[in-house]
Amino acid sequence: MDAFLLIRKNEIVRRYIVMNSFDGVLTILGIILAMFVAGVDSANLVVISCIGAIIATGISGILGGYQAEKAEKTRDLKILERHLMRKLEKTSIEKEYKKLSLVMGLANGLSSTFVGLIVLAPFFFALTKLIGLTEAFYASFALMAISLFLLGAFVGKIAKENLVYHGLLMVAAGALVGVLLYGMAVFGIL
């Protein structure tokens, strides 16, 4: 694989990881905050609801990312075949394109799954009565803030810009979602 393709692959994988980790945190934030505001008193209900969303977004991310990348790579392969004036079936180029599609699909779906499970972890402790449900809510919110900050810092590192600024920007985005959801609940919109 040439250097340009390797660099391009790494850029796309990083982008998928950041975008879908961010989506994963905010999706679980929405569910957990709604349950917190609604006064749900069952860790089991929180876990079941979040696991459903984690599985759905994970599978959607893997299959959607794979299909999108496969379509792009198929298009790229056809363009390359026209330029080379020959078919590239069963070549190392075709195999590499297929492998790239799979890697990018996995990065797309597993990133939201992984971060979703991290921020849901306190509720597993609540299920086993190691911590109370209220503590699980607050611990999960803290893990969300930490996850968002780390994602933002990672974005800052990629851009070679201020890590703290980018980390706080991501936390602010999560806080905005929280404030909107909480405000909607308080004013009876939800």
Domain assignment present for residue 121? The answer is: no
Mean pLDDT of 1-17: 71
Domain assignment present for residue 149? The answer is: yes
Query: What value does the mean pLDDT of the chain take?
Result: 91
For the stretch 132-184, pLDDT in tens is 999 999 999 999 999 999 999 999 999 999 999 999 999 999 999 999 988 88
Expressed as residue numbers, the domain containing 89 is 3-114+133-186
Question: How far, in whole angstroms, is CA 14 from its chain's centroid?
Answer: 11
Domain assignment present for residue 107? The answer is: yes
Q: Which helix (H) or strand (E) holds 110?
A: helix 92-127
Domain assignment present for residue 119? The answer is: no
Number of domains in the chain: 1
Share of the chain above pLDDT 90, in %: 63
Q: Quote the pLDDT of residue 185.
A: 81
Residue that wins the pLDDT comparison between 97 and 46 = 46
Domain assignment present for residue 125? The answer is: no
CB 117 within 8 A of CB 54: yes
Domain assignment present for residue 127? The answer is: no
Mean pLDDT of 122-137: 97
Q: What number of other Cβ atoms are within 10 A of residue 134's Cβ?
A: 11
Instruction: Enter the DSSP assignment of 86.
Output: S
Domain assignment present for residue 173? The answer is: yes
